[in-house]
Amino acid sequence: MVDLRINCAGITSPNPFWLASAPPTNSGYQICKAFEVGWGGAVWKTIGAPVMNVVNRYGAVDFNGQKIIGLNNIELISDRSIEINLKEIAETKKLWPDRAIVASLMVESDRKIWHDIVKRTIDAGADGIELNYGCPHGMSERGMGSAVGQVPEYCTMITEWVTEVSTIPVLVKLTPNVTDIRFPGRAAKKGNANGISLINTINTIIGVDLDTFQIEPSRGGKGGHGGYAGPAIKPIALNMVSEIARDPEINLPISAMGGISNWKDALEFILLGATSVQVCTAVMHYGFRIVEDMIDGTTNWMEEKGYTSLDQIRGKALANIANFGDMNLLSKHIAHIDAGKCIHCNLCYIACEDTAHQCIDLVQKKGKIQPTVRESDCVGCRLCYIVCPVDHCITMVQKDNGAQSKTWNELVKELPQPLSIEDLRKFQHKHGIDVH
């Protein structure tokens, strides 16, 4: 029997799927609706300092006819009062005792104010607290959100103010708008955080209107940067989550988010170390109902693979992450085009010819033009494989037997320093690697 239950830094939920702190978790009404269809938890839309919003808060990037590959927003934290939010948290928790309700908080950088809101949140019955150090718009201009997340010292200080009075788990939510995500992560750890949430949204401008020169979307004649989310940011989030997961100085449970739209996305984050996963853009596109397939798909996958608990797979892909210097330089792969599957679109040809290593020829065969890899010149870059529109038509065929291995880090120890191109060429030549 598959058991999807999780315990993320002491916060438990029947499955790992939480709604992220965002417009979908603005009210008790919405969160109750989400719980009814199966969401395991919800991080309440950030409660705190009084705010006032503008119109046209969302902008989106559509790609090739697909809607919302990325979603940008400048909606601020909850514009409802702290009292109402806390009251609804209490009511919702009573109705749904088994679900995780985490209160996202953001107030002015004042120890007393933080102490006050943390205590009131605990009194309301929340299962945990998430500190919003991520919001890149509006709040940051007032010294909150990413203005905190971008300065490790502030991050530690405010986390300490919270953890010194909190009796429930505290997650710190990080902004990706930094050069190295590990520094604010370590700062949170230093402030005694119980877990890390990441990533918050990425600073972006969605576009410029070519008729009016207005920033898209325009808010009464002005636009500006907002926080970007959705499928487009998933690879960025995967990397940042893996960096936090791999950092021995942090070693904290992770609640991951950033472009998670389905069970496959969720599993990838879990394989990179996440305990719970949070979703926003996908529900803003399709509604709460998508969780049904997330639960169903994950369960089916686990059954097929023979797993019964997410603990069995958490972080299992981390060992496969390596720095470039530790990758095998002698692993040899060559592209192979299956002429039987080829539809003769010649996209592999033009990609290789114009932008890679000029090793695909158009060969006249039986009245058709057949793109054919000149194996001696193929460097195994994989571009043709990526552009080919046919499944399994181009494959990267392993040509070495895996017996030989040399990493860059090993190689530089063996070759005379400072490294010369001639010595490197000799090594390549010895192993049949032709650079052209």
- Catalytic (active-site) positions: 135
Question: Which has the closest alpha carbon to 343: 374, 388, 396?
Answer: 388
DSSP at 214:
P
Q: Closest CB to another protein among 346 and 407?
A: 346
Structural Rg of the chain based on CA atoms: 25
In sequence order, the 6+-apart residues with CB closer than 8 A to the CB of 107 are 48, 49, 113, 114, 117, 144
Q: Closest CB to another protein among 331 and 395?
A: 395
Spell out the alpha helix ranges (H) of 57-102: 82-95
CB 278 within 8 A of CB 294: no
Question: What are the structure tokens assigned to 225, written together?
Answer: 């940067």
Smallest distance, another protein to C-beta of residue 64, A: 4
Q: Closest CB to another protein among 61 and 291?
A: 61
Question: Which has the closest alpha carbon to 73: 119, 33, 110, 21?
Answer: 21
Q: Closest CB to another protein among 8 and 373?
A: 373
Smallest distance, another protein to C-beta of residue 82, A: 44
In sequence order, the 6+-apart residues with CB closer than 8 A to the CB of 155 are 133, 148, 149, 172, 184, 187, 188, 191
Smallest distance, another protein to C-beta of residue 342, A: 8
Smallest distance, another protein to C-beta of residue 252, A: 43
Smallest distance, another protein to C-beta of residue 210, A: 9
Rounded CA-CA distance 11/194 in Å is 10
Smallest distance, another protein to C-beta of residue 65, A: 4
Q: Which residues bind another protein (CB under 8 A)?
A: 64-65, 342-347, 349-350, 362, 369, 389-390
CB 236 within 8 A of CB 258: yes
Q: Looking at this protein, which amino acid is placed at residue 141?
A: E
Q: Closest CB to another protein among 210 and 403?
A: 210
Rounded CA-CA distance 412/431 in Å is 16
Cis peptide before 418 (omega within 30 of 0): yes
Nearest-10 Cα torsion for 10, 14, 18, 21:
-50
Q: Closest CB to another protein among 82 and 206?
A: 206
Determine phi and psi for 382, rounding to 5 degrees.
85, 5
DSSP track, 307-375: --BGGGTTTTTGGG---GGGSBTT--EEEEE-TTT-----HHHHHHHHHS-S-EEEEEETTEEEEEE-G
C-alpha pair distances (Å), 36 with each of 74, 177, 287, 402: 29, 35, 13, 51
Question: Which has the closest alpha carbon to 9: 253, 312, 314?
Answer: 253
DSSP at 222:
B
Rounded CA-CA distance 133/258 in Å is 15
Q: Closest CB to another protein among 367 and 418?
A: 367
Rounded CA-CA distance 284/122 in Å is 29
Q: Closest CB to another protein among 113 and 345?
A: 345
Rounded CA-CA distance 309/293 in Å is 18
Smallest distance, another protein to C-beta of residue 359, A: 16
Smallest distance, another protein to C-beta of residue 362, A: 8
